Amino acid sequence: MPFDYKKEYREFYMPPKTPTIVEVPAMNYLAVRGKGNPNDEDGEYKNSIGLLYGIAFTIKMSYKGSHKIDGYFEYVVPPLEGFWWQNGVKGIDYGRKEDFNFISVIRLPDFVSKEDFDWAVREATKKKKTDFSKVEFFHYEEGLCVQCLHLGSYDDEPATVEAMHQLAEREGYQLDINEERMHHEIYLSDPRKTDLAKLKTVVRHPIKKA
C-alpha cells in the first residue's frame, strides 16, 4: 500500500478541531510564488496548482521510467498547501483577497533531491509542452506553531484563528508572523467537489515564547 503522509503524520495533517501547539520539522516542497485573489479563474493562484501537480505526478510516476530515484517508495501525493501574507498586514485581512501574496506548495518525500527535482521539471516540460520554470525546490523549517482543523468556508477562518491565538496566549506564547513565518493552510478537501460547510483545512500560525 502506498505511503500516505496524511495518515502517517496525523499530527501535521489531521489535527483536532480544537487548537494545539506543534513543532513542525524542516521539509522540502514544490513551490510556486504569486499574488492576487485566489478565486480568480485565470489568476496566478489557480495556474500555480496545475504547475505543482504537473511536477508532483512526474516525480511520483518516475519509477515507471528510466530515471530511478535513490530510496524511492510508492506514496500518495501529499495535499496542496499555501503560505499567505499581505504587505503591511500582520496576519490576514480576508476582505482584501486581491492583496494576497502566496507560496503554493506540495510536500516532497525526503528521498527527492534537488537533482531529481531538476530532472522532473525537464521531463514535464518536454512531455506536457508546458513552461514549468516558475516551480521551485523550496526548503522550509516552520518550527513552533499553533494549529487547528477548520471546518467550513475559508472566509469563516477568523473565528478559528482567534481560538488559536487565545490558546497560544494562555500557554505563554505570542504570534510570530513575519516575512519568514507566514499564515499557513493545508487543504484536505477539494473545493470543486465539496460543500462549503464540509471543507476541511488545517490552519497554522507561527508562535514563539512570550
Torsion angle, alpha carbons of 201, 82, 74, 194, to 10: 40
**Of 203, 181, 201, 179, nearest in space to 190 by CA:** 201
Share of the chain above pLDDT 70, in %: 100
> How confident is the model over 81-100, as a mean pLDDT?
92
Do residues 49 and 80 lie in contact, with contact meaning Cβ atoms separated by under 8 Å? Answer: yes
pLDDT at 191: 86
pLDDT at 206: 98
pLDDT at 170: 98
pLDDT at 19: 98
Statement: residue 110 has pLDDT above 90: yes
Statement: residue 88 has pLDDT above 90: no
pLDDT classification of 65: cutoffs 50, 70, 90 = very high
Angle between helices 44-60 and 114-128 (to 10 degrees): 110
C-alpha cell at 6: 496524511
pTM over 0.85: yes
> How confident is the model over 44-51, as a mean pLDDT?
97
pLDDT classification of 26: cutoffs 50, 70, 90 = very high
Provide the 8-state DSSP code for 33. Answer: E
Report d(CA 14, CA 6) in Å as an integer. Answer: 7
Model pLDDT for residues 143-173, shown as the tens digit of each residue: 999 999 999 999 999 999 999 999 999 999 9
Model pLDDT for residues 3-22, shown as the tens digit of each residue: 999 999 999 999 999 999 99
